[in-house]
A and B are shown apart, each in its own frame.
Chain A
Amino acid sequence: MSSEPLVLRVEGLGKSYRIGEREPYKALRDVLTDAVTAPARLVRGPRRKKASTEDRIWALSDVSFDVRRGEVLGLIGRNGAGKSTLLKILSRITDPTTGQVTLGGRVGSLLEVGTGFHPELTGRENIFLNGTILGMRRAEIGQRFDEIVEFAGVARFLDTPVKRYSSGMQVRLAFAVAAHLEPEILLVDEVLAVGDAEFQEKCLGKMRDVTQAGRTVVFVSHNLAAVKSLCTRALLLEQGKLAFDGPAHEAVERYLQHAGGARESAVVEGDALAARLVKSKVYGDSPLFDCTRIAVLDETGTPSVSFRSDEEATVAIDFTVVRTVPSLRLLVTLSDANQTIVLRTENIDDPDGGAATRLEPGDYRSTVVLPRGLLGDARLDLNVSLIAEVNQVLDYAGVAELSFRFSGHGANARGKAYLRPLLPWQTDVAAPVA
């Protein structure tokens, strides 16, 4: 272990949410109804315990780790594993439910690029505003002003309102401000997902400089390559628990292994399906529908997750409609280990796909066929979303890992590529050049 002093210690950290707490807001009406029915409850018996354990979900539970000065700690895990919750606690946006965090220095957090940017203000004004929001002093910003402007490459537009900037310029300016923040502990969430490749490279370079200056970085990313190259150590979170703490490359390997191993099943239902739920939102009174089962089937209707590229794969989504759904949008994507989406298909793409059909209460099954002769050698995650526009959204990620093996003719049947569609080729004798 290094002899550098600690800068961050996390002990038994947990965060629970009451189910429904993340709803947009609570109407006064609900409180009034509660108040009105309260006397009745007194008569009927003791009041139900306010938040029973079933009503709470633990976004994070019993997480402990130490970070020493100069370390670059990666934080990886599936969507919903608790990475963002952890960052929000570390950056003091929300309080933990259990446990504690000890911070040995100023914390700078970059959970979003350009927080507080106002479109009507000029680039210059936004640099100062955003800088102070991130915790910088006016004098500090003044000292680094030229560097920030140069890094962002917006010198000519400093006195133009930011609303006239291209989105790329806005992002560059915002990152430039944040990158010149000099806290002892920098928390970064997925900011590298923005901007073009060249700018991303520049950001990675900047983060390397930051750590060489002896500062500590906690870095959340789905970009596993970046985690491996930047971080000395990484934590793997699984369903709110710390599953691995060690060298970054090992953490990444474990993540990929687990991601594959746990999902050999081609039929996902019940608890297994609930575990894949990464986003669930209900607006208004009560959900309109519920997804009960997602399955991947081969041509004979047998569940399977491994296919030859000349076979069809069918994704079948079973759901129950509780109250009439005016229209249900279904979305299926395939993504690789870096979360890059390789294929996306929606029922609204197909005019006959039934997206606009009004669904009365009952059980339904929607299917989509991934045609033969499209995919090459690939292992891809299946993600499914069900969206009833004004009422409810359910997002499932990594429902199953599908593996496709290219099976063509000829000498080089293998050859890594996600897509290897059968395309018409032709060779003709060229007309002689005159």
Chain B
Amino acid sequence: MSTVTDSAFGGGRVTILRSRRGWAALDLGELWDYRELLFFLVWRDVKLRYKQTAVGAAWVILQPVLQAVVFTIVFGKFGHLPSAGIPYSVLTFTALVPWLLFVNALTSSTRSFVDNQPLVTKVYIPRIFIPIAPVLSGLVDFTIGLGVLACILAWYGIVPPLHVLLLPFFILFAILTSIAVTLWLSALNVRYRDVQYTLPFLSQAWFFATPVAYSALVFPSHLRMWIGVNPMAGVVQGFRWAIIGHQAGQVGHLMLLSFGVVLLLLVGGLEYFRRVERSFADVV
């Protein structure tokens, strides 16, 4: 699509539609024009999330808390995993909050095109919003999770270091990681429904590959940075570094590696998405 002016059209700006091939840039102007739609899609998701549940919005708090309790009992008591003098539940919960943002985004975004078929086949909207909206709506749960985390820190009397002020940066990183991965998965799922069936297994494997229920210190120090190949390891370690401090492990190289991977995933994901998006309406 391109926009030019044409005198036969009264000299106004015109839009040209034709077959698109090859590289395509993201049309940011168009996304901006439709920004209210993104807001409404996110709002719809949030609004519908806990309809028809007995405890309603309480699930937002219950989910992470229950999971942290399970981890504390299973790994903390029986696993004897090193936690560098930090209470095990603090170590886990700090990682669990961004992890849940990621894994919830994965489950809801991957199916987003299948669940919103009419938005693809019956109307034109910037389709990239469809997988992004569920990621953003997860921020509501995420914020409440952070609140619960603050309470836990207060309970143990842990004061975060000054560089906790960098946390927003890591939050942004968590969001970008989620978007990068879900762009791939949601687009692949349009053509290969196998993706949604692989997902439970994928997210479980990913969970164990990420130092959520254990500390990154279990890895020998010379190998530790390489777990950054998994960008969620970067996110989780970044959160721990910002909230708990250096005892949770150094993050420098590991973070850089994760950034690189997310950047690749994101650019590649956008490009892949733009390419296959053209045939979504014919395939979904």
Contact = CB atoms under 8 A, between A and B. Distances in A.
Interface string A81-112: 00000001111111111111111110101011
Contacts of B36: 132, 137-138
B37 A100 contact: no
A115 B118 contact: yes
A151 interface: no
Contacts of B122: 93, 111-112, 115
Interface stretch (A20-28, A228-236, A293-301): A20-28
B157 to A, nearest CB: 44
B193 interface: yes
Given A102-B14, A104-B14, A25 B193 contact: yes
A103 B15 CA distance: 5
Given A90-B17, A100-B17, A138-B36, 20 more contacts: A5-B10, A6-B8, A7-B9, A22-B283, A25-B192, A26-B192, A93-B281, A95-B19, A100-B18, A101-B17, A102-B6, A103-B14, A109-B124, A112-B118, A112-B123, A115-B118, A115-B119, A118-B48, A133-B40, A137-B36
A121 B51 CA distance: 10
The 5 closest A-B pairs by CB, nearest first: A5-B10, A104-B9, A100-B18, A92-B124, A28-B194
A3 to B, nearest CB: 10
A129 B123 contact: no
Contacts of A91: 123-124
Looking at B120, B190, B282, the one whose CB has the most chain A CB atoms below 10 A away is B282
Size bracket, chain A contacts: 35 or more
7 contacts: A21-B283, A22-B282, A95-B19, A101-B18, A125-B44, A125-B47, A128-B40
Interface in B119-157: 119-125
Looking at A26, A95, A101, A120, the one whose CB has the most chain B CB atoms below 10 A away is A95
B271 to A, nearest CB: 17
A31 interface: yes
A116 B116 CA distance: 8
A17 interface: yes
Interface in B229-264: none
Interface in B55-93: none
Interface string B187-208: 0001111100000000000000
Given A103-B14, A133-B125, A5 B282 contact: no
Contacts of A254: none
A137 to B, nearest CB: 6
B9 to A, nearest CB: 4
A9 interface: yes
Interface in A114-154: 115-116, 118, 120-121, 125, 128-129, 132-135, 137-138
B16 interface: yes
B6 A104 contact: yes
